[in-house]
Amino acid sequence: MRSLFPFLSLYRTHFGRLLLGTILAITSLAASIGLLSLSGWFLAASALVGSSLLFNFFYPSSGVRGLAIGRTISRYFERLVTHDATFRVLANLRIAVFSKLIPLSPAGLNRYRNSELLNRLVADVDTLDTLYLNLISPFISAVMVILFMGIGLSFVSPLLAVIICGTLTGLLVLFPIVFYRLGKRLGKIVIQSRAKYRSQFIEWVQLNAEFLLFGVQQQATAKLQQTEKEWLDAQSHESQLSGLSNALLIMANGILVTVVIYLSATAINVPTAENPEALIALVVFCVLASLEILTPIGIAFLHLGQVITSAERISEITEQQPIVQFTGQAGWQKIAENQPLVEFKQVNFTYPQRDENVLNNLSFEVLSGQKVAILGKTGSGKSTIFQLLTRNYDPTSGQILLNHCKIEEYPEQTLRQHTVMLSQRVHIFSNSLRENLLMGNPNASDERLLEVLNQVGLGYLIDEQNGLSLWLGEGGRPLSGGEQRRVGLARLLLSDAEIVLLDEPTEGLDRETEQQILQLILEHCQGRTLLMITHRLNGLEKFDKVYRIDNGSLV
Site of interaction with Mg ion (CB under 5 A): 383
Instruction: Indicate the residue type of 264.
Output: S
Site stretch for ligand ATP (CB under 6 A), options 121-129, 276-284, 295-303, 380-388: 380-388
Tell the smallest beta-carbon distance from residue 494 to Mg ion (Å).
Answer: 24
301 has which bridge partners?
none
Q: Between β-strands 529-533 and 499-503, what pairing exists: parallel, antiparallel or unpaired?
A: parallel
413 burial level (CB within 10 Å; 0-12, 13-18, 19+) = exposed
Nearer to ligand ATP, 48 or 323 (CB): 323
Instruction: Note if the bond before 106 is cis, omega within 30 degrees.
Output: yes
Q: Edge-to-edge strands of the sheet including 405-406? A: 359-367, 340-349, 397-402, 405-406
The residue within the footprint of ligand ATP, chosen from 381, 457, 488, 505 (CB under 6 A), is: 381
CA distance 527 to 337: 9
Given ligand ATP, Mg ion, none, residue 296, with its beta carbon under 5 to 8 Å by kind, binds none
In the 3-class helix/strand/coil scheme, how is 328-354 assigned residue by residue?
A: CCCCCCCCCCCCEEEEEEEEEECCCCC
- Strand 419-422 relative to strand 499-503, pairing: parallel
Task: Specify the residue, 164 or 502, whose C-beta has the smaller distance to Mg ion.
Answer: 502
Phi, psi of 377 (to 5 degrees): -65, 165
Specify the residue, 368 or 387, whose C-beta has the smaller distance to Mg ion: 387
Q: Which of 37, 137, 384, 423 binds ligand ATP (CB under 6 A)?
A: 384
Site string for ligand ATP, 87-126 (x = CB under 6 A): -----------------------x----------------
Q: What is the CA radius of gyration of the chain?
A: 35
What is the nearest approach in angstroms of ligand ATP to the Cβ of residue 376? 5
Q: Which of 2, 111, 334, 354 binds ligand ATP (CB under 6 A)?
A: 354
Rounded to a whole number of angstroms, the minimum distance from the CB of residue 309 to ligand ATP is 29
CB of 549 to Mg ion, least distance (A): 10
Residue selected from 34, 376, 488, 505 as contacting ligand ATP according to rule CB under 6 A? 376
Quote the least distance from Cβ 342 to ligand ATP, whole Å. Answer: 17
39 binds, among Mg ion, ligand ATP, none (CB under 5 to 8 A by kind): none
Alpha helical stretches, state H, 481-528: 481-494, 511-524
CB atoms within 10 A of CB 480: 9
Q: What part of residues 396-435 is at the interface with ligand ATP (CB under 6 A)?
A: 424
The answer to whether 153 and 121 are in contact (CB under 8 A) is no
Q: Which listed option, ligand ATP, Mg ion, none, makes contact with residue 378 (CB within 5 to 8 Å by class)?
A: ligand ATP
Comparison of 305 and 381: residue with beta carbon closer to ligand ATP: 381
- Contacted entry of Mg ion, ligand ATP, none for residue 351, CB cut-off 5 to 8 Å set by kind: ligand ATP
**C-alpha triplet 70, 73, 77: angle, nearest 5°:** 135
Q: Give the separation between CA 7 and CA 96, rounded to whole angstroms.
A: 10
Task: Name which position in 245, 315, 383, 441 contacts ligand ATP (CB under 6 A).
Answer: 383
Residue 383 CB, shortest distance to Mg ion, in Å, is 3
Please count the residues of this chain forming the interface with ligand ATP, following the rule CB under 6 A.
13
Per residue, the 3-state secondary structure of 152-173, as one string, reads: HHHCCCHHHHHHHHHHHHHHHH
499 - beta bridge partners? Answer: 419, 529
One of 18, 165, 358, 438 touching ligand ATP (CB under 6 A)? 358
Q: Is 378 in the site for ligand ATP (CB under 6 A)?
A: yes
To 10 degrees, the CA torsion angle through 179, 182, 188, 189?
-130
**Which CB, 41 or 386, lies closer to ligand ATP?**
386
Interface residues toward ligand ATP, by CB under 6 A: 110, 351, 354, 358, 376, 378-384, 424
